[in-house]
Amino acid sequence: MKKCPVKTCAAAAIHLPRHLRDWHGGKADDARTAVLKYSGRKHVKSATEHALQMAKLITLAQQNNITLWDRSVLDVFSKYATEKQYLPATKNAYLNSLKHFRDFTMCESKDDDKLISKMKERVCFKIASYRQECGKRQQQRMDTDLRKLLTPEQLAQFR
């Protein structure tokens, strides 16, 4: 969600150009320019990564003959991520890509709103479940880095 750049407007919009056009009477070109001006777009590297992750999720769904909004797509992804030995942060990134794609889909299409909304809830729960694993992994990395930097002998020298 992006905060509207118009000072008198306190709205937060998922699709900023549409909000500027519909609520503030701007032209489509002006709205796109405003989005660029107010940094409403993701960095190219980030957008490319989201696109690649979504392409993989779509491929997994197609290989298993399920739709992207089907409940079992999360199970299929979990199995795939386990096979590939993805770290919790990588799993989280894939699920965030799915969540962003869901927001985009809700803006662009009004089909299957309930189904897509339920999928977002499931994805958010899954992301929350990986958050603890991400924290544990981050702590492990910090401990490993600390052990590499200081040995007990080196600490004793400073005392």
Tokens 């981050």 label which residue?
138
Same domain for 33 and 49? Answer: no
Q: State the pairing for strand pair 12-13/2-3.
A: antiparallel
Domain extent, residue 103, equals 44-149
Residue 104, domain member (yes or no): yes
Q: Is the Cβ–Cβ distance between 58 and 99 less than 8 Å?
A: no
Higher pLDDT, residue 109 or 67: 67
Question: How many domains does the chain contain in total?
Answer: 2
Q: Which of 31-45, 81-95, 99-113, 135-149 has the lowest mean pLDDT?
A: 31-45
44-63 vs 88-108: helix crossing angle, rounded to 10: 90
Residue 154, domain member (yes or no): no
Question: What Rg do the C-alpha atoms of the chain give, in angstroms?
Answer: 21
Q: Per-residue pLDDT averaged across 126-155, rounded?
A: 78
Same domain for 32 and 70? Answer: no
